Amino acid sequence: MSKILITGGAGFIGLHLAEYLLGRGCSVDLIDNFSRGKQDKQLKTLTNDKNVRLITVDILKPNSMDDLDSDYDYIYHLAAIIGVQNVVDRPYNVLRDNIMMLTAVIDFAKENENLKRLMFASTSEVYAGTLKHFTLPIPTPETTPLALTDLDYPRTSYMLSKIYGEALCHHSGLPFTNFRPHNIYGPRMGMAHVIPELLKKAYKTDGDFLPVFSVSHKRTFCYVDDAVSMLSIAAEDERCKNETINVGSLEGEISIEELAKEIISAVGKDLKIYPQQDTAGSPSRRCPDMTKTVQLTGYKAKISLEEGIRRTFEWYKPNVFEK
């Protein structure tokens, strides 16, 4: 039985990943300081399993990981300060704390003699500087040279913390995989994301119009079940050792306007889209080249956007919208 540690384990991807790993016969320890993760019904159900432990730990505090076990096979480092509002309001904290958390995890990981892999959650935001200053290939491969946006621009802090983090993993001496998630979505992801936000607007409106920002911007979306399957395979596959991979869907780009139409269909209303201004700081396109990931893992995302939105709405409707 593999023994897993997930930092930020009470969060969106952490919980889904833990559920998936339990189904594969692993034992899972979740650590979280609950600055974002929630003690909700889903988490309580998960932690009722005898092979799951939930431990409240703030890894920003010195020696906070000293009492953890030292025989983990895999460590997934998902904990980070994220979210546009955090980045805008507290760019210094985002940059400092994300690096401090990773260095603490790396130091701890080195004490685990049988560690097979450290999985580091980077971000698709690392490509933002290249998009601004140069020609960004779409779809975007992991080999794309990375550039920075202006250092005094608050959003640079988050991107830079993840680029720095990837470099730390490369030079840590640990077996690692850096992964760059691209628009992972699904149940329990919070409200500060385009899919649950539009689902709520469409479900709650009494009018005939759905206001939608950045209608011409394009994205690809990957349902969380596909993402965690991809991550688990990457962690165990030697071909992914010391590699950086995109995590996302092979489905083509979709405009936010087209996304809104899918959401209107899922909610079952007859709404017209009312275009709004573009969101400040939002890249016009973001689409991963999944060639390398598919070659290394043999896994392709299976859940269509239509099906993923339906599943997401079916969770949000009773758990959030009707509460």
Residue 28 domain flag: yes
The C-alpha R_g of the chain, in whole angstroms, comes to 19
> For 22-32, what is each residue's pLDDT tens digit?
999 999 999 99
| Positions marked catalytic | 158
* Per-residue pLDDT tens over the stretch 254-307: 999 999 999 999 999 999 999 999 988 788 999 999 999 999 999 999 999 999
Task: Give dist(CA 243, CA 293) in Å, integer.
Answer: 10
The answer to whether position 262 is within a domain reads no
Dihedral sign, CA of 213, 217, 218, 219?
Answer: negative
Query: Does residue 46 sit within a domain?
Result: yes
First to last CA, the chain: 39
Tell whether 157 is covered by a domain: yes
Asked if residue 178 belongs to a domain, the reply is yes
**Is residue 203 situated within a structural domain?**
no
**Which range of residues forms the domain containing residue 87?**
3-189+222-250+286-303
Q: Which pTM does this prediction carry?
A: 0.96
- Domain assignment of residue 131, yes or no: yes
Contact between 43 and 106 under an 8 Å Cβ cutoff? The reply is: no
The CATH number linked to 15 is 3.40.50.720
| Neighbouring C-beta atoms of residue 91, cutoff 10 Å | 21
Q: With contact defined as beta carbons under 8 Å apart, do 72 and 115 qualify?
A: yes
Count of domains forming the chain: 1
In a domain, 269, yes or no: no
* pLDDT (average), residues 117-142: 96
Which has the minimum average pLDDT: 195-209, 257-271, 278-292, 309-323?
278-292
